[in-house]
């Protein structure tokens, strides 16, 4: 049976993802390779491990028994590997991370690239996507997401930073239209707002200890890209509600001016999310610690 040990992680991936195709994506192999690995295991064991259907594979009774043993064995292997690597300070292997497009490019990826430069045996696979991903099914070690995150089954969540969002305008716009002094006066101004799927993002203002006030500004201009909204604000098209990490250089250059300065910026938590495990791999742990140390500086 020892010559079939390499097929065990494939079997575990099929069980955890629910199918051959999803397991193939996680392991970065073909669906055919997954099917052959399962067939080899079943032949060596002399037992059927999976009930096959067109949509999903489920465990047989023998498969459930074997899977439970595989889980324990792989947990021990993972723990042993993590302990050995931690003991000699080695950070190696491929780290697959999902992140939002703009925030990831500006605030997350630079930290991870510096980490990879520090650890030559660490390989990065970075995915930039604003839609939620299935960490387990898609084979991600880690995700970084802005905003509320549900404590989903099988996931661990850690807050690593907070971003702040304010209202900005160009000096040209303010010279032509004046500067709003209160939230109520926003209704008299033009705004460039974020909208996706027909839903407009409201502007949030933490004016007291209760829930923030949500304002729906006049939405003549609706974009689904924050960078384009920032560019439009610089061009004097209207007011824009934007995170400071995106417009910091525009503020320094004077291209954008913060308004309603007496109101604190709305804070949004930034989270690191990873599949729940009893023994977190060294490369994932080091990456999370690096992000928690560096992202607050660039996100604030």
Whether 187 and 240 share a structural domain: yes
Q: Which H/E stretch holds residue 296?
A: helix 282-299
Look at residue 211 in the predicted model and tell me its pLDDT.
79
Whether 175 and 155 share a structural domain: no
Whether 196 and 177 share a structural domain: yes
Domain end point (choices 70, 87, 104): 87
Look at residue 6 in the predicted model and tell me its pLDDT.
82
Q: Which range marks the domain in which residue 151 is found? A: 91-161+268-299
Residue 76: CATH number of its domain: 1.10.10.10
3-state secondary structure of 145: strand
pTM: 0.71
Cα separation, 126 vs 86, in Å, equals 24
Q: Which H/E stretch holds residue 142?
A: strand 142-146
Whether 186 and 281 share a structural domain: no
Look at residue 83 in the predicted model and tell me its pLDDT.
60
Whether 76 and 210 share a structural domain: no
Look at residue 149 in the predicted model and tell me its pLDDT.
80
* Residues paired with 164 in a beta bridge: 267
Whether 117 and 197 share a structural domain: no
* Residues paired with 243 in a beta bridge: 165
Both tokens of 290, joined, read 């690096």
Whether 106 and 145 share a structural domain: yes
Whether 150 and 279 share a structural domain: yes
Domain count along the chain: 3
Whether 294 and 155 share a structural domain: yes
Do 235 and 223 touch, CB atoms closer than 8 A?
A: no
Look at residue 28 in the predicted model and tell me its pLDDT.
84
- Walking along the chain (300 residues) 10 residues at a time, the average pLDDT comes out as 73 85 86 92 91 75 86 71 61 93 96 94 94 87 88 79 95 95 93 90 82 87 95 96 96 96 90 85 90 89
Look at residue 1 in the predicted model and tell me its pLDDT.
47
Whether 45 and 115 share a structural domain: no
């Amino acid at each position: 049976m020892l010559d079939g040990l390499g097929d065990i992680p494939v079997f575990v991936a099929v069980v955890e993802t629910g199918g051959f195709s999803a397991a193939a994506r996680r392991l970065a192999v073909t669906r055919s390779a997954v099917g052959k690995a399962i067939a080899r295991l079943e032949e060596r064991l002399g037992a059927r491990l999976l009930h096959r259907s067109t949509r999903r594979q489920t465990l047989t009774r023998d498969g459930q028994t074997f899977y439970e043993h595989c889980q324990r064995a792989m947990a021990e292997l993972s723990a042993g590997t993590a302990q050995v690597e931690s003991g000699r300070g080695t950070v190696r292997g491929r780290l697959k991370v999902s992140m939002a497009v703009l925030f990831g490019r500006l605030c997350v990826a630079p930290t991870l690239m510096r980490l990879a430069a520090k650890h030559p045996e660490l390989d990065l696979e970075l995915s930039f996507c604003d839609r939620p991903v299935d960490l387990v099914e898609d084979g991600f070690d880690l995700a970084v997401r802005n905003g509320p995150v549900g404590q989903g089954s099988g996931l661990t969540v850690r807050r690593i930073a907070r971003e702040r969002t304010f209202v900005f305008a160009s000096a040209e716009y303010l010279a032509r239209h004046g500067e709003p002094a209160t939230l109520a006066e926003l209704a008299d101004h033009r705004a460039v707002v974020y909208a996706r799927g027909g839903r407009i993002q409201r502007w949030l203002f933490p004016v007291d200890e209760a829930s923030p006030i949500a304002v729906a500004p006049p939405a003549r201009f609706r974009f689904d890209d924050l960078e384009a909204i920032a560019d439009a604000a610089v061009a004097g098209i209207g007011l824009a509600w934007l995170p400071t990490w995106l417009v910091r250089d525009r503020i320094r250059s004077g291209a954008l001016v913060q308004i309603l300065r007496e109101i604190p910026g709305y804070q949004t938590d930034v989270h690191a999310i990873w599949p729940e495990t009893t023994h977190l791999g060294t490369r994932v742990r080091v990456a999370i610690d690096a992000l928690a140390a560096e992202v607050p500086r660039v996100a604030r």
